[in-house]
Amino acid sequence: MQKRILGALAAVFVMASMAGTGLAKEAKGVWLTESKKAHVQIYDCGSKLCGKIIWLREPNDENGKPKVDVENAKESKRSLPLMGSNMISGMVRASSKLWNDGEIYNAEDGKTYSSKMEMTDDKTLEVSGCILFFCKAQTWVRVK
């Protein structure tokens, strides 16, 4: 009888400790970028995480047409729409709140950078992109 009670209590403690860790350790979801210009959906792509633009504050250009990736270093991609474009690729979980070894694409300069992401809490994601030793970080806020 005591073993059953102890077992039940242990199960309750394990479930209670896991309940508070769900979203806090999960980067998947929709995030508002620091500039508030875009929402990025982070999702599983195999065993890694990837992200794509799913919302733009200004989705159309001055002619009313969907914005395209005009700054892309690859000329063949400059006519592709920004909406739906991949922004994050290859993020590997390094710890319960850190993903690294990935890349992030910056549509404003058309360049791809080494990247990592770290959850600071369930609603905040620190995203950084680096080239050599120069890094820039942004704080993204969870939308859903």
pLDDT in tens, 55-106: 999 999 999 999 999 999 999 999 999 999 999 999 999 999 999 999 999 9
Task: Give domain 23-142's CATH architecture.
Answer: Beta Barrel (2.40)
CA distances from 12 to 3, 17, 18, 19, 95 (A): 14, 9, 10, 10, 25
Q: Write down the pTM of the prediction.
A: 0.80
Q: Which residues contact 118 (CB under 8 A, 6 or more apart)?
A: 97, 98, 99, 125, 126
1-48 tens-digit pLDDT: 444 433 333 333 333 333 334 444 699 999 999 999 999 999 999 999
